[in-house]
Chain A
């Protein structure tokens, strides 16, 4: 956006842009403000008083810790699975030619294009059919379906920019497959994997729809929040957790953006 450097935009446009940004971000600020309110039964504006007591209350609530820990574990393991599978798949699709290659690359991306509710129903009926009880691992599986896509998209974009003869050059110079992966392939795709991995982590962390279909009794953070909003008890605790979630998901996304801004788009970030 540097097409007319030095030339200022008209005032009307500036105001419109500011309004747009406010519309997007003011509600988030409100969430933050309510975390400090003294009124616990309902959200009233303006807050009758300000307090930091909810941070302590949140800290001492075991259900918050359970939900957070579950979310972090699910996100970490789904991301780990996605990193391995997504990279392998991207390597296969971009480095070799085989029958059905295009179909596979479409099928991999499909879960992110499908509405989450479809993925959720499909997984739930599949689990029921196979008689798999809902557990931590069913949530992980559900999340892995879309985490793989994010990693795959990032890795495939990087593989495309990587010259295929580099791998041959490495072999030619005496490196076996493992050495070539370690010294040539990995350094060249590392930032793409880091970006994809962090995005996958963030996506998994705030996922609701697929989780509602694949979780049993456990509550991830977003599910816990939904439940909490129905019960009018210590409401600002939700807001405190929301602040934490925003920070936990925003930082990786920002980092991913900075790591890949020269060239790679963070594909599939729209989920």
Chain B
């Protein structure tokens, strides 16, 4: 099957900065794909390479089997929802949405009808006559979405689409984007630095660091079986365990990761386990996050709210299921 987007050894260098460094990537048609990473990790550059705003320094990109190098943004069947939405302030909402059809020469009646339909799709029917300046952040985001979708792109790119919205709106929008993608069946590629967002929305996630992809996998893969210390730490702050520690429990001299919620805590007298000291508690609502010191190794554990907790500074014993200790690929 042809990939929706395929990167073969793609690099994009800015002077001596390797923004994207020999990246291989395959995004399947109809997939909801997330590019996750800290700022400066190359995820946005990858998105811009797909959109055509950047050209690769080396390597090749194809979109649904067609080579994309040298093809300008306006000849790609790909549309972008920009981080700042980039709505045109001099046009009303309907003309904004119809813009893509207008420059392609679609007749006025036809394109305004299509734009009105796109606005209904993002649940903003009847907002066409307003100016972008009169809309709230969430509404602007929907207009930007409608403006991209009206062109029926094969791939929709979303650059930190929810970054500027408040928490409640963000959660609503996450669900909405997800169901919209299911209905339309378009390949969505979105960039985010929020691991929660990536895990909850995407079919697959690529974790970026320093211009490279560290790991690609389903959210569960990424979360449960990180392959490197970076992924373990960045995606949901797993405990990264040094090889010497891991060897004691698994017999293998490898880096390991252990989810905070996999750790159980009991009082000092309760037999074998890792001896540690509770150095801090952090109340998070549904759970409490504990900071522990196991002979110089700093660990975090997540316990349900309401569980009986030892006092800070007290000695505790940590136990965990051997299966929950994940051995990482990264060489020791």
Contacts and interface: CB of A to CB of B under 8 A. Distances in A.
Interface of A: 163, 165-166, 168-176, 179, 183-184, 187-188
A171 B86 CA distance: 12
B99 A183 contact: yes
A135 to B, nearest CB: 41
18 contacts: A163-B84, A165-B82, A165-B83, A165-B84, A165-B86, A168-B86, A169-B82, A170-B88, A170-B103, A171-B52, A171-B53, A171-B72, A174-B103, A174-B104, A174-B151, A175-B74, A175-B99, A179-B103
Interface in B65-109: 72-74, 78-80, 82-84, 86-90, 99-100, 102-104
Given A169-B82, A174-B103, A184 B88 contact: yes
B290 interface: no
A81 B165 CA distance: 45
B100 A173 contact: yes
A189 to B, nearest CB: 10
A163 B86 contact: yes
Given A163-B84, A165-B84, A168-B53, A188 B90 contact: yes
A254 B72 CA distance: 43
Nearest to B80: A172
B74 A169 contact: no
Contacts, number: 64
Given A171-B73, A172-B73, A174-B74, A188 B80 contact: no
B44 to A, nearest CB: 12
A112 B104 CA distance: 44
Interface residues of B, number: 25
A251 to B, nearest CB: 26
Contacts of B52: 171-172
B72 A173 contact: no
B51 interface: yes
Contact of A173 (B83, B84, B90, B99): B99
A77 B163 CA distance: 49
A50 to B, nearest CB: 51
B72 A176 contact: yes
B82 A173 contact: no
Contact of B74 (A163, A166, A172): A172
A113 B82 CA distance: 40
A175 B82 contact: no
Nearest to B104: A174
Q: 3 closest pairs, A vs B, by CB?
A: A173-B100, A169-B86, A165-B86
Nearest to A179: B103
B147 interface: yes
B80 A169 contact: yes
B73 A168 contact: yes
A166 B147 CA distance: 13
Nearest to B90: A187
Interface in B176-225: none
Nearest to A183: B103
Contacts of A184: 88
A270 B104 CA distance: 45
Nearest to B157: A172
Contacts of B53: 168, 171-172
Nearest to A164: B86
Interface string B131-145: 000000000000000
B74 A171 contact: yes
B141 to A, nearest CB: 13
Interface string B254-297: 00000000000000000000000000000000000000000000
Contacts of A187: 90
A185 to B, nearest CB: 10
Contacts of B148: 172-173
Contacts of A188: 88-90
A160 B83 CA distance: 18
A172 B79 contact: yes
B189 to A, nearest CB: 14
Contacts of A169: 80, 82, 86-88
Contacts of A171: 52-53, 72-74
User: Which of A165, A168, A169, A187 has the most C-beta atoms of chain B within 10 angstroms of its own C-beta?
Assistant: A169
A98 to B, nearest CB: 13
Nearest to B79: A172
A174 B78 CA distance: 9
Nearest to A162: B89
